[in-house]
Amino acid sequence: MPVRQNLDNLAEVIVVGAGLAGLSTAIHLAERGIPPLVLEAHPEFAGGRVSGGVEVEIDGWRFRGEHGVHGIWSPYRNLQALLARHKIRPMFVPALEETWIYKRGSKVKRARVGTAIRFSPLPAPLHYLNLFMRPRFLGMLGIRDWLSLPLVWWSLLWGVGIDPFAEDQPLKDLRLSYLVKRWSPAVRAFFVGLARNGMAAEPEEIPLSGFIAFLRFYTLLRRDSWAYSYMPADGGSSLVEPLIQKLESMGSEIQMGTRVLKITKREDSWRIDWQSEETAIMGYSLTKQIVLATDAPNTSKIVANSPDMATKEELFWPRGMATAVVRIWFDKSPTPGAEGGIFSGDFVIHNFFWLHIIQDQYRRWHRATRGSAIEVHIYGPPELLEQSDAVLLTRAISDVQSAFPELRGHRIHQIIERNDATQTLFGLGSKERHLSINTPWTDIFCCGDWVRHPTPAFFLERACVTGLFAANAVLESRGLEQWPHLEYPKPETFAAFIERLMRRGRRSRRKKRREAP
């Protein structure tokens, strides 16, 4: 097959991947006068997991597909600063309430939990105790749940006292199942539901370091960290498409449908071999510096195919998780309630969002027809996701109708979309084996929500922040002005006190062990 060169001249910087991390890197570089070439494997949609998708038409109404990412959380300070700087400020929809729906056998119980955590009068990390002041939440608990509360409390304290990022605590080979194995059924189901919705995996798969870091960033240290808003209109595409327009207006090019195969070192540059996803044409580009902004599974493939990127030690790669997104339309609205929430217990679906409450097009359709639409996510286990679309749809519909029986007999349409195994199951590898912004290879940098960096951020914010730091690494190598990074709010006073106390205790124990004969 003939190989063609992509560019007549050497590119200054090439960013591999046009997800949020790659777009963050590219736009920060372009603003400093270095518009990079961006290579994106998907033939149609940039943005990775916040990209748009194919449209669905129902009775003349068109609804755009998505990958299932909806929330902009209050700690996403750097992402929001990037959007504000470029005047990308869509009308976000503040989250009002989340419901926990728990099924055991044929019994389905529910309790509103979002406001109980966000607006608790108790300081973090005691704010979870406010859940036990809600009668419906109490009604979901049994005697075993009450007896296990001291163990649950001690587990949460462990999370307050350990910062996996800052302390270099990979907690090797420990999984979430280790932390919750002795908890009572209902309380375990609630926290496993939270973890599964955040980490997209079963407790036997979730690295404990990742879960603790997730819990600390989103809720454990501050009550207001649990506040978030929904993306409007077409979801993530309402952020991604304006970013791409800004990027292109500053001279950058995004080359779609270009899958990078391998990277080769030349005397004073790097060669990137790629293949067109649509035409299968092979090509290559030359560049001085590279930013790898792809997900962990694809980055590992590129490194494995590139002999010049071999390392002495085998690198650590966080797993990529496959997921499924199901949308169901009804000709009737459900009983008024929360706009979203989590499922746990005997459900196969794991969370839900009422799209006619949070997204513009669905709201307009609802006002015209009085219909409703729900989106639910399925995060596994793998053997469940291996089942056919028809089986998954049937089981998801059954679960939705079990949770919302007033909608039985009112379904008018349903679709399922499967996401490739690229959603990061975050875990922490050792410093020597887990790729960070500055890689073992000269003039190659890395960013993404899976990359090792001391920032406590997660998911969209982590992608944006590591993209910023990757851009700064390029700028530093050229002696150019770097971008500032916004720090995150400190833990609440009581949480900070517990954190200091537990760290002091661990240091004292380590000292005693060293001094022991």
Give the pairing of strands 411-425 and 319-330.
antiparallel
pLDDT digits (tens, 9 = 90+) for 43-59: 988 888 887 777 888 98
CB 194 within 8 A of CB 188: no
pLDDT at 234 over 70: no
Q: Write down the pTM of the prediction.
A: 0.93
pLDDT digits (tens, 9 = 90+) for 10-52: 889 999 999 999 999 999 999 999 999 999 999 988 888 887 7
What pLDDT, on the 0 to 100 scale, is given for residue 233?
Answer: 61
CB 124 within 8 A of CB 161: no
Closest CA to 174 of 455, 427, 435, 381: 427
Q: DSSP states of 119-186 as a string? A: T-SSPTTGGGGGGGGSHHHHHT--HHHHHTHHHHHHHHHHHHH--TTTTT---TT-BHHHHHTTS-HH
What pLDDT, on the 0 to 100 scale, is given for residue 77?
Answer: 95
pLDDT digits (tens, 9 = 90+) for 460-472: 999 999 999 999 9
Helix (H, G, I), strand (E, B) or coil at 285: strand
What pLDDT, on the 0 to 100 scale, is given for residue 2?
Answer: 42
Query: What amino acid occupies position 190?
Result: F
pLDDT confidence band for 236 (50 / 70 / 90): low
pLDDT digits (tens, 9 = 90+) for 433-467: 999 999 999 999 999 999 999 999 999 999 999 99
What pLDDT, on the 0 to 100 scale, is given for residue 3?
Answer: 44
Name the CATH superfamily for 3-48+235-318+426-477.
FAD/NAD(P)-binding domain (3.50.50.60)
pLDDT digits (tens, 9 = 90+) for 187-232: 888 888 888 888 888 888 999 999 999 999 999 999 999 888 888 7
Helix (H, G, I), strand (E, B) or coil at 45: coil
pLDDT at 152 over 70: yes
Tell me the two tokens of residue 227. 């506040």
What pLDDT, on the 0 to 100 scale, is given for residue 295?
Answer: 95
Q: For the chain, what percent of residues have pLDDT higher than 90?
A: 62
The dihedral built from the CA positions of residue 253, 255, 260 and 265, taken in this order, carries a sign that is: negative
pLDDT digits (tens, 9 = 90+) for 171-180: 888 999 888 8
pLDDT at 238 over 80: no
Helix (H, G, I), strand (E, B) or coil at 256: coil
pLDDT digits (tens, 9 = 90+) for 81-118: 999 999 887 778 888 999 999 998 889 999 999 999 99
| Domains of the chain, residue spans | 3-48+235-318+426-477, 98-226
- Over residues 264-271, the mean pLDDT reads 93
C-alpha–C-alpha distance, residues 271 and 274, integer Å: 10
pLDDT at 8 over 50: no
Tell which wins on pLDDT, 360 or 235.
Answer: 360
